[in-house]
Amino acid sequence: MKEELLISLINTGVVNKGTEVTILRAGRDMGGSSTVRSFHHVELHEVEVIDNKAHLIAFSVADGKQYKLEARHVLQIDGMHPDRLSEAFKTDGKKRGRKPNNPK
């Protein structure tokens, strides 16, 4: 996920405490190599934007494990892809609405 998109979703209130997020993390297999990637469903506990960087702290829904997340870890927000979610809430930074009526 793009950092700017996550920050705009946080600023509009779409992503906040209690939001469920699907993340992708690297893990280790039985032999100890770190080639395994795993999906986790987590619930956000702290959401902050500091110096144009999103800082997320989340807890696993399954076992309660704590994760410190970056935007690149986020795959889905409440079951939706972040791009589709931003289109639904119109938070992609584009201006919308009518053209201004400028009579001459």
Tell me the C-alpha distance between 56 and 35, whole Å.
24
Contact 42, 62 (CB under 8 A): no
Closest among 32, 17, 12 to 87, alpha carbons compared: 12
Average pLDDT value over all residues in the chain? 86
Contact 48, 86 (CB under 8 A): no
pTM above 0.85, yes or no: no
- What pLDDT, on the 0 to 100 scale, is given for residue 100? 62
For tokens 């395994």, the residue is 36
CATH 2.130.10 matches 3-89: no
**What would the mean pLDDT of 24-28 be, rounded to a whole number?**
82
**Alpha helices (H) along the chain:** 3-11, 82-89
pLDDT in tens, 43-88: 999 999 999 999 999 999 998 999 999 999 999 999 999 988 888 8
**What would the mean pLDDT of 24-44 be, rounded to a whole number?**
84
Q: Which two tokens stand for residue 63?
A: 């076992």
- Spans of all domains in the chain: 3-89
